[in-house]
Amino acid sequence: MLTEQILSLLRALRLTGMADALERQLTQPTTHAELGFEERLGLLLDAEATARENRRIERGLRTAKLRYAASVHDINYRHPRGLTKSRMASLIQGDWLHNHQGLLITGPTGTGKSWLACALGDNACRLGFSVRYFRASRLFKALEIARGDGSYARQLAAIARADLLIVDDFALEPLSARNRNDLLEIMEDRYAERSTLVTSQLQVKLWHHTIGEATIADAILDRLVHNAHRLELKGETMRPPVKTEP
């Protein structure tokens, strides 16, 4: 079989990683001349596996719709906000995701809560977990729209399937009765089954008042706070000062 036919067949079989790797081998004949058949085949298979993994991660990140293109490798530990490498190393390893635990990140505005949540979401995608990101206000708005167009149950099911749900900027304003019911439905579906990451400017002890309706707030917080890790950031804002015109 001619080389062009082999390449065409590989692409027809959707083995694009192998096809690309074979083309690279053909353009560098001296580099691979001393390798045996099994070694060259092994390189092609490794290339295909890597290409598939990269495509999986890209699909996961597109679905996640993270607010920031953040990476755990770029976390700033120098800023005095109470974030330690040892604590983050444990979270980056991903045991909390395997164990379906939660993570609550609180702290003043500008301390990097949303960025850190996105970095952990990116890391979760690379570990093989499915991720969905929402700002709290937009999550409730999306569910409100879903009620109107008849897709509410489907939306809840999609949220429930995500291995990690990130709810950013939670408790910025009091929840309505409908918001409370939506959040209770979400937490009921996810409790002990999936992981939920929540960021908020408010300390966790103040969430009860913001949620409102004591009975429902108790039920939500019992499912959200129980068995959840906490990162309580502190310090001044990390955001650069806004320049003003003279």
pLDDT digits (tens, 9 = 90+) for 192-212: 999 999 999 999 999 999 999
Predicted pLDDT at 195:
98
Average pLDDT over residues 174-195: 95
Predicted pLDDT at 222:
95
Predicted pLDDT at 187:
96
Write the DSSP assignment of the chain as a string of letters: --HHHHHHHHHHTT-HHHHHHHHHHHH-HHHHTT--HHHHHHHHHHHHHHHHHHHHHHHHHHHHT-SS---GGG---SSSSS--HHHHHHHHHTHHHHTT-EEEEE-STTSSHHHHHHHHHHHHHHTT--EEEEEHHHHHHHHHHHHHHT-HHHHHHHHHH-SEEEEESTTSSPPPHHHHHHHHHHHHHHTTTSEEEEEESS-GGGHHHHH-SHHHHHHHHHHHHTTEEEEE--SS--SPPPP---
pLDDT level of residue 1 (50, 70, 90 thresholds): low
For 21-42, how does the pLDDT look when each residue is reduced to its tens digit (9 = 90+)? 888 888 887 777 777 888 888 8
pLDDT level of residue 246 (50, 70, 90 thresholds): very low
